[in-house]
Structure 1
Amino acid sequence: MYYELATLTTRLFTTAKATEGIQAWVQAAEARGQLLGCWYSDIGALNQILVLRGFNDEAELLAERRRALLSSDPFHCGALLTGLEMHSYAGFPWMEPPKPGSYGPVYEVRTYQVKTGGLQPTLDAWKAALPARNEISPCLLAMYALDGTPRFTHFWPAASLNERSAARADAVKQGVWPPKGGPDWLTSDMQSQIFMPTAISPLK
């Protein structure tokens, strides 16, 4: 599956109103794709809304990208925005698309840049290691960027920050994570944020 990950930076105290616009945008008659998640940032860069949508093919994704780029009111909350970024991704090929449900409410979203030529070795390492890692706490989605700097983004839901920290420590202690050989292909450019689901998010 193909994905769009949009980051909407909003004016102070406008998250709820912006979310109403986002819901109308993704439910419009001309809209394509499926809303998977809509979260607000809680730790890290603040005043951000993260919108994740899934698409059956690249044509659908690009059609939605053009709709936003050509709109005078993207996501029906343009007047509330101080910044807008939209990025295209493909899911790791063996992973099933996430299904709506309650997995959080704490969502850690990590983005790692990869060295030149490092994407396929990264995919191979993750494919080998992720089943054991998922036994401790599941990775909801991992996807690699189709534009910009070579990188991949992954989502880790947890019931609490403490649960998240304990799971990561346990995975390292058991030796199942990080994937063997995986870090060899990463640069030092890594980002992590904590997000919480908004009222319209299918992923809770």
Structure 2
Amino acid sequence: MPSKSLYMYNYFSVGVDAQVALDFHRTRESRLYLFSSRIFNKLLYLCFGTQQVVTADCKNIQERERVDLYLDGKLTPLPELESIVVLNIQLWGTGVNLWNMRGDSSTQSYKDGVLEVVGIYSSFNIAQLLVGLSTPHKIGQAKTIEIHLKATAPLQVDGEPWEQTPAIFKISLVDQAVVLVNKKN
């Protein structure tokens, strides 16, 4: 099987959030796409997210025939989910702090060499997360993450979506870059 390297700076996801991003991406590439206003684009995202509430294309992504998740080499059991998100940043989406929404004691740092993995229940759950009415499922933290994709599914790396055929993804820290942080927050 051929091997390809991808670099994730912020996040990697498989499931419903990637499906919504992929639908939006395909629409923008269409010859029929005439608008490029921020409000119209947000409405498109809302429409695609609402469509996923009804169709639930990524429902039960954890089922044996679709995705297996390994954190530091251990197969991790998953609840019913529609998306798995690997984070290397604190703020995801439009500024949602997925890892610390529950206020528990586990810490998150972009410089500790550990990645955070969360599960999202549905596109409706994403809408709830955006306004602080829900929390994601904390799956765990790990230095190495393997995602065994056993069926074609939507994926995205740092907001760039595509449809992926079965593959194995190995995610780990490669290097670090210096970033500017606003200490006022």
Superposed pair shares fold, TM > 0.5 = no
Q: Give 1 or 2: higher helix fraction.
A: 1
TM-score by length of 2: 0.27
TM-score by length of 1: 0.26
Q: Give 1 or 2: higher strand fraction.
A: 1
